[in-house]
Amino acid sequence: MKALFIQHDHVSPVGPVGQRLAHHGFEIETQLVVPEENFESPNVAFEFPNIDNYDLIIPLGAPWGAWDDDCIGNWLQPELAWIKNAVESGKPVLGICFGGQLIARALGGSVSRSPKAEIGWTYIWSEEPDLVSNGPWFQFHYDQWVLPGGVKEIARNPVSSQAFVINKSLGVQFHPELDSAGLKGWLDWGGDKKVQQDGQDPIVMMSQTAAEEEAAKQRTFQLVDNYLSKVANLI
């Protein structure tokens, strides 16, 4: 089996999600949409591959908005069409943060700025904890989705919707792939200032993430296992 990770920027490692898929025998492929040299001018052209070449597609997070056609429309609009085709055809898609927002928007929902950012380790309320646990999960987003009809919301918190299922696809608002190395990349590329602007200390956040890393990895492994067996039907 073959899994494709869509990395929208150069600091989006596959983390423990990729580790767990490799454990299940998946061949891992990554494709980068916005190269490092275009990080400040991300409206690049990108050709998305044939979904038939993959058993599972995982669009990861991004520092840009899934609503921001002016900023990233050259590849955002093609990706929305690509994701819509994948989900509606029954191809398993695991959308993470921006990736989950893509699914919601592609299927007729919407994505917009949230009244409140979520940054750091937070608990959610899951109606299906045997699929998506209550966490804590790491969050780093400023946006929220409004889900279209036909989508089953399965988790939320007081700030925003957190997880949904449709066909063989799962969208989550949080970052199960996040580990210390991934967070360091985000902080090094401007995330530290965003954390400070949110009234938090990035040094403490790094220490907290290192302390939480092993338990978080096990939660992610369980999430991947649950998704593959209960939704994607791949194991």
Residue 24 annotated to the active site: no
Q: Does domain 2-230 match CATH 3.30.470.20?
A: no
The one catalytic residue in 79, 97, 118, 141 is 97
Residue 37 annotated to the active site: no
pLDDT at 180: 96
pLDDT at 206: 97
pLDDT at 34: 98
The one catalytic residue in 8, 79, 118, 175 is 175
Residue 88 annotated to the active site: no
For residues 87 and 181, give the distance between their C-alpha atoms in angstroms, rounded to a whole number. 30
Residue 164 banded pLDDT, cuts 50, 70, 90: very high
Mind listing the pLDDT tens digit for each residue in 30-76?
A: 999 999 999 999 999 999 999 999 999 999 999 999 999 999 999 99
